[in-house]
Amino acid sequence: MELTDSAEQGSLEAIASQQRLRLRRLGMAMGSYLFTFAMVLMWWGFGFLDGIVVLQWSVFSICVNLIFLGLILNNINLRLRDPSLTVPQIVTSLIPSLFVMYHLDAGQARAIMMLLCVIPVLYGILGLDFRRLMIVMIWIVASYAALMGVLFWSRPDVLDGSMELMQFLMLILVGSQLALLGGYISTLRDHLRSRNEALQDALTRINELAARDPLTGIYNRRHLMTSLADVVAVDEQQRRCSVCMLDIDHFKALNDSFGHQAGDQALCAVADLIQNNVRASDVFGRYGGEEFLLILPDTGADGALSKAERLREQIARLVLPALPSAYRVSVSVGIAEHCPEESMDDTIKRADAALYQAKEAGRNQVCLAEA
């Protein structure tokens, strides 16, 4: 349950971080409207536009940005295929600009406004791939062509054929170049993301290898100590934790009699058996030499004693190819439950002392340390 809750918490934090980033981008987009608003005001001041056109442009622009702001603040954008709303913002920003261009009489003024229409595409380069950039540019070019058609039908006197054609061709040229540049940047971005993921995977594998014992494949002592530090807070959560120290009996004699290969096989067999019979929350590793350490969170002394007895019995039944058929490997186990008033080092010392008591009592048995 705790792992699931932690994963959900991490996912929620990641979503919140992405939403904050989208709000910052929306703020930048709103800032670009201010430049356009300044230009529209200048045209009104110079007599190119009526005041009602400026008012209508302002109301529409404010409403559009408030809609996008509401979608993000209420997390509605997360239900969409593109939560960043990049394409909708670019496409929508074109509508008030086309409205202003329709009311401009001077072709040069429409050309300036057309350049302002391209500015949102520059923001799209940061997050769109080539295909979506082409869709946006096709929309811009088609919308401008439709505007020219409407003007030709309703206000042909404000059009200069050759100038309008040149502006239209320049829009196509600039738009295609932006789409190609955006596609190239998108390719580089995808390549960089792929390299970063590969690097992260490599670092994960390196960290995993650094935490593993090369012979048995289980955790090494360094990782065990780190795990013990993580469970120091169990007392604050009023949870119990026990540690088991396991040692293979007569391991030196086994090496001397049958060779180090047989000793290595015994270590690996014991390690595999224990590893395959512990919970996902338990931490098991090689403490050193023929000693193993098993950390049992949420487990009191009684539960640890029962677990250790089962493992001891299973190990005593192991048959190893490198050893005579009658030879059996056994382990002695010392158990200590962590007490609130002691450090984990002291808990390990008590488990180690209990282990030696088990050996002195005849080996192949489990001994529980006193609290």
Residue 182 burial by Cβ neighbours in a 10 Å radius (0-12, 13-18, 19+): buried
Is 290 annotated as catalytic?
A: yes
From the candidates 2, 290, 291, 341, which is the catalytic residue?
290
Distances (CA, A) of 77 to 86, 87, 88, 232: 11, 13, 11, 42
Give, as one character, the DSSP assignment of residue 323. Answer: S
Measured in degrees and rounded to the nearest 5, phi and psi for residue 96 equal: -65, -30
Distance CA 232, CA 36 (A): 60
Q: Are 168 and 148 in contact (CB under 8 A)?
A: yes
Q: Which amino acid is at 304?
A: A
| Gyration radius from the chain CA atoms | 36
Name the β-bridge partners of 285.
219, 293
Tokens of residue 122, six digits: 């520059």
* CA proximity to 282, closest of 231, 333, 214: 231
User: Which residues touch 289 (CB under 8 Å, ≥6 apart)?
Assistant: 251
Q: Are 135 and 87 in contact (CB under 8 A)?
A: yes
Distance CA 348, CA 344 (A): 6
* CA proximity to 53, closest of 63, 43, 65: 43
The angle subtended at Cα 357 by Cα 242 and Cα 229, nearest 5°, is 30
* CA proximity to 35, closest of 134, 118, 128: 118
Distance CA 130, CA 124 (A): 10
User: CB atoms < 10 A from the CB of 208, how many?
Assistant: 11
Tell me the catalytic residues. Answer: 290
